[in-house]
Amino acid sequence: MVASFLIGMFIYWYEEPAQDEALSRLRKLKYVLKSKTVHKQMTEMTVETRQRDDNIAFVNELSGVVGVRDVMLVSYNGDYAP
């Protein structure tokens, strides 16, 4: 049986004190940083990750970190152009 993979854009927002813990958990994934935006008290990071379809528990794990406001996983095929 061939494993099915989800390529997704993973976007999350966090407060500065949550940075170390959030990055520590993110390092467990293979990812490519796509963008990082720093607002006055919040940071938004967008990363691309490739996971098995049934292995998306990291979204809930990261959202449980104190100081992480929102976590979103969006399916992504690598092409934004029409």
Spatial distance between the Cα atoms of 14 and 27, rounded to a whole number of angstroms: 16
Q: Which tokens is 15 given?
A: 């407060």
Q: What's the confidence (pLDDT) of residue 69?
A: 87
* Residue 2 confidence (pLDDT) above 60: no
The residue extents of the domains of the chain are 5-75
**Residue 34 CB contacts under 8 Å (≥ 6 apart), including other chains:** 9, 46, 47, 48
Q: What's the confidence (pLDDT) of residue 1?
A: 44
pLDDT tens digits along 18-34: 888 988 888 888 888 88
**Residue 17 CB contacts under 8 Å (≥ 6 apart), including other chains:** 66, 67
pLDDT tens digits along 36-63: 888 888 888 888 887 776 677 888 888 8
**Topology classification of domain 5-75:** Alpha-Beta Plaits (3.30.70)
pLDDT tens digits along 62-73: 888 888 888 888
